[in-house]
Amino acid sequence: MIFQLVGIVVVLLAVITWLLTAPLSPTELTTLAPAALWTHTVEHLQLTLLSAVIVLLVAIPLGIALTRPRLRFLTGPVLAVANIGQAAPSIGLVVLFAFWLGFGFRAALLALVLYGVLPVLRNTMVGLQQVDQRLVEAGRGMGMSAAAVLFKVELPMAVPVMLAGIRTALVLLVGTAALAAFVNGGGLGLLITTGVQLNLPAVLVAGAVLVALLALFIDWAGRVVEHLARPKGL
């Protein structure tokens, strides 16, 4: 994991050095000013992290509920709805929500939530379904309630699979958040759209590289959390 972090830092330093030494036009200097880059990065992180929190609050409880015997019949319809976010083009979702809710942060946020639900939902269900039923029966035989078995047996055993889904969703959200610029949602995608519209290669490259580096950093952070949160012995 350390090599991935070192690689991210090296590439970031190389980009910074290039921006400081490249012959940039006045428009490029203004667009790539440190204050502007910081503002776009914070907006990008806000979009990503807030949508991720909403996804977790929705997908994990829903995934748990769908693995309970009484609600398993809803699995097909719910997964079909959740699959819309992955099946539909991400730019299409962003634009549709923008026309429905108005251009801005909220439309981009809801589009990202729909886009990121499926990996977390599916991995939560798969993780719980892979728990050895003999362990569940043993817990119930010891007098544990269904809730106690869920929180003390099933969820700890399912954590590795669930964390993999969460990390996947985070990386997807970082990349897709760049599309928020098309609906005035902010973020680093604004550098990409500005670079394309005004034919500014330096701005375009800087925006694309920064989004990629942010996605790689989130992936690295997810790996660290996944390693630390994994129950001992698994």
DSSP assigned state of 77: H
34, part of any domain:
no
- pLDDT tens-digit map of 191-209: 888 888 888 888 888 889 9
Residues across the chain: 234
Q: Which residues touch 88 (CB under 8 Å, ≥6 apart)?
A: none
Cα 5–Cα 86–Cα 169 angle in degrees, nearest 5? 30
24, part of any domain:
no
Burial class (CB in 10 A: 0-12, 13-18, 19+), 218: buried
Closest CA to 28 of 184, 201, 182, 181: 201
Q: Which residues touch 98 (CB under 8 Å, ≥6 apart)?
A: 104, 107, 108, 182, 183
The whole-number mean pLDDT for each consecutive block of 10 residues of the chain, a chain of 234 residues, reads 82 85 83 86 90 92 87 82 75 78 83 87 88 79 78 83 88 87 84 86 88 89 77 56
Domain holding 182: CATH number?
1.10.3720.10
36, part of any domain:
no
What total of structural domains would you count in the chain? 1
70, part of any domain:
yes
- pLDDT tens-digit map of 48-89: 999 999 999 999 999 888 888 888 888 888 888 778 777 777
- Domain extent at residue 95: 42-229
